[in-house]
């Protein structure tokens, strides 16, 4: 049986073991943030403003990376640290 979804528990285990697989957690964060920014950029023009809400955990780091990438392609980005 092939599993077609990854649960949050599965993802957490993969993240915790990423170094074993040769991928740093920093690279995971960079890739996640870059892909968020790519998706936003594909849907909206840089003349739009973006509000980015970030928490204190790892997903917050993803948000800061996304903000950096969006800013570099011309979006006006405001980050709210919750």
Reading the block at residue 17, the tokens are 């073991």
For residue 48, is pLDDT > 90?
A: no
Q: How far apart are CA 10 and CA 53, in angstroms?
A: 25
Sign of torsion over alpha carbons 38, 7, 55, 22: negative
Helices (H), the chain: 8-16, 25-43, 58-72
Reading the block at residue 2, the tokens are 């092939």
Reading the block at residue 8, the tokens are 């949050």
For residue 1, is pLDDT > 70?
A: no
Predicted TM-score of the model (pTM): 0.82
Give the model's pLDDT for residue 30: 95
């Amino acid at each position: 049986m092939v599993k077609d979804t990854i649960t949050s528990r599965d993802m957490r285990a993969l993240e915790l073991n990423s170094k074993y697989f040769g991928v740093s957690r920093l690279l995971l964060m960079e890739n996640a943030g870059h892909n968020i920014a790519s998706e936003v950029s594909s849907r909206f023009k840089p003349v739009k403003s973006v509000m980015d809400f970030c928490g204190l955990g790892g997903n917050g780091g993803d948000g800061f990376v996304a903000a950096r990438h969006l800013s570099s392609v011309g979006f006006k980005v405001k980050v709210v640290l919750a």
